[in-house]
């Protein structure tokens, strides 16, 4: 036992004596710190915008009352109500899709479908490059350093002639390679855990079950890459072959397959209904101007039978009652295309979840984004929350508009920006199980190679 400890002590010394080892560790630490800084800065900007929006909504409401307070219908034509998708603490760890999906949606009482997809104008170059965060470092950079640390563990011994001497002198030659390998596992895991602890403090991540889940998920992902490296080593090929093969696997798993899969999804489940949805909503509203009022009001009262009790001024050429009913008809007419979009997106998500089971890179990315609330599912839930909020506002203020009440008789001044937060934090047990099984497959293949004595 004492001899074994000495051997490990020696292996650590040899590892840290190599300048390339320190360079690898330094790169991981620097990019890890940078990922935390950029991730936190990105989310801090969004939080600042949300806080500013809360102040502006109140200010804009008071301005609208000053300008349009004499006409309640016109006031609600202009006045906006905002719902914000407040970022979770974990969003700084994994920014996910928060850079492309709107996190702040402001709506008037007009037809909703045309307003729901409004977002900021972004620089396409910055969208292409994406945002750097800590999840990016774990998913894309750590595997590269693992490859750099392990690709020549055996081949270097063979190419220098040391391996033949070792095999001649001892029957435990493989133990030496295994010890070198474990030293690298300990170093990489230590750096990963150090970055996670710093992230807990710097990003204010609560040390709870979620933190433990993400830690386990990240370590399982890194274990998979060690298993891949050990499998390639077990083939007994040259250093050049090992390096080329491992880099090719990294390019496939981290770049080619995710990009190809995204392209495949776009073609398999296209969403032309998105444009059709907006067209249907606009046509459903605009065409009602040239039709008899009954064409609008009958479906409107069928949709909201509780509003029949408010007298409709049929003799008036224009009334806000009729106008808001037309707006609702625009949304109703777009309902079929909206449901088609929801169905397509649900199919995409289902197909993605099955496909990702075979690819740890995608699985880990989906897992951390899901935990962080920066995934597509959370955004779709946020859109549903906007729909409910919009409906609530409409039903609350319709009576005042239809009865042409004074603005002072409403509670519009009390309305402030609402914040959406997820009801529950999802788990990543499926992601963990998937990566664990794939890692075990790689280990099994490695053991098979070693039994064949290919080294």
Pairing, β 81-85 against β 418-420? parallel
Residue reference for tokens 């199919």: 347
Cα dihedral 255, 257, 262, 266, rounded to 10, equals 140
Q: How confident is the model at residue 118, as a pLDDT?
A: 61
> What is the three-class DSSP state of 84?
strand
Residue 364: partners with Cβ closer than 8 Å, 6 or more residues away = 138, 139, 217, 218, 221, 431, 435
Cβ atoms 297, 341 nearer than 8 A? no
The angle at the Cα of 134, spanning 125 to 43, to the nearest 5 degrees, equals: 65
Enumerate the domain spans of the chain: 2-268+359-451
Within its chain, how far is the Cα of 376 from the centroid? 6
Residue 11: the pLDDT is 80
Neighbours of 261 (CB within 10 A): 16
**Residue 426's closest CA among 209, 224, 228?**
209
* Cα–Cα separations (whole angstroms), residue 186 to 192, 199, 304, 348: 10, 20, 65, 39
Q: How confident is the model at residue 211, as a pLDDT?
A: 95
Residues of the chain falling short of pLDDT 70: 1-5, 117-130, 157-173, 271-287, 453-455
Q: CA–CA separation, 267 vs 263, rounded Å? A: 6
* Adjacent-strand bridge partners of 83: 105, 418
With beta carbons less than 8 A apart as the criterion, state whether 71 and 407 touch. Answer: no
The predicted structure's pLDDT at residue 127: 46
* pLDDT at site 336: 79
* Mean pLDDT for the chain overall: 87
Give the list of residues 6+ apart from residue 240 with CB closer than 8 angstroms, or none.
none
Report the distance separating Cα 43 and Cα 87, nearest Å: 7
Q: Which helix (H) or strand (E) holds 347?
A: helix 335-355
> If you write DSSP's letter for every residue of 10-31 in order, what string do you get?
HHHHHHHHSHHHHHHHHHHHHH
CA 296 to chain centre: 41
The two tokens of residue 373 are 């609330």
Torsion of CA 13, 16, 18, 21, to 10 degrees: 150
Residues 6+ apart with CB under 8 A from 76: 108, 109, 397, 401
**What does the pLDDT read at residue 125?**
46
């Amino acid at each position: 036992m004492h001899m074994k400890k000495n051997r490990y002590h020696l292996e650590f010394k040899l590892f840290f004596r190599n300048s390339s080892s320190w360079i690898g560790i330094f790169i991981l630490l620097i990019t890890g710190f940078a990922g935390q800084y950029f991730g936190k800065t990105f989310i801090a900007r969004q939080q600042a915008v949300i806080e500013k929006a809360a102040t502006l909504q109140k200010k804009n409401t008071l301005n609208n009352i000053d300008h349009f307070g004499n006409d309640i219908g016109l006031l609600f034509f202009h006045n906006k109500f905002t719902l914000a998708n407040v970022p979770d603490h974990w969003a700084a760890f994994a920014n996910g899709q928060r850079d492309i999906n709107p996190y702040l949606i402001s709506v008037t009482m007009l037809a909703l479908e045309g307003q729901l997809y409004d977002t900021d104008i972004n620089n396409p170059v910055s969208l292409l490059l994406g945002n750097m965060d800590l999840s990016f470092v774990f998913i894309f950079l750590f595997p590269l350093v693992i490859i750099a640390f392990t690709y020549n563990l055996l081949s270097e011994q063979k190419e220098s002639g040391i391996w033949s001497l070792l095999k001649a002198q001892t029957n435990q030659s493989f133990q030496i390679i295994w010890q070198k390998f474990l030293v690298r596992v300990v170093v990489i895991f230590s750096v990963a855990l150090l970055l996670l602890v710093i992230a807990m403090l710097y990003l204010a991540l609560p040390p709870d079950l979620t933190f433990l889940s993400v830690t386990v998920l990240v370590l399982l992902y890194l274990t998979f890459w060690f298993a891949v490296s050990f499998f390639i080593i077990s083939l007994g090929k040259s250093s050049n072959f090992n390096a080329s093969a491992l880099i090719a696997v990294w390019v496939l798993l981290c770049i080619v397959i995710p990009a190809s899969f995204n392209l495949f999804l776009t073609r398999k489940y296209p969403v032309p209904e998105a444009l059709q949805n907006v067209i249907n909503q606009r046509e459903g509203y605009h065409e009602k101007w040239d039709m008899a009022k009954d064409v609008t009001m009958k479906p409107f009262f069928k949709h909201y039978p509780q509003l029949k009790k408010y007298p409709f001024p049929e003799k008036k050429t224009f009334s806000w009652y009729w106008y808001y009913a037309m707006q609702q008809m625009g949304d109703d007419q777009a309902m079929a295309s909206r449901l088609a979009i929801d169905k397509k997106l649900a199919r995409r998500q289902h197909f993605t979840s099955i496909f990702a089971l075979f690819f740890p890179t995608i699985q880990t990315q989906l897992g951390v984004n899901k935990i962080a609330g920066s995934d597509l599912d959370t955004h779709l839930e946020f859109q549903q929350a906007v729909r409910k909020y919009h409906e609530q506002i409409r039903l609350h203020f319709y009576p005042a508009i239809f009865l042409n009440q004074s603005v002072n008789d409403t509670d519009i001044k009390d309305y402030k920006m609402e914040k959406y937060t997820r009801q529950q934090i999802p788990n990543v047990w499926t992601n963990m199980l998937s990566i664990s099984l794939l890692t075990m497959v790689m280990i099994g293949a490695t053991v098979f190679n070693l039994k064949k004595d290919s080294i």
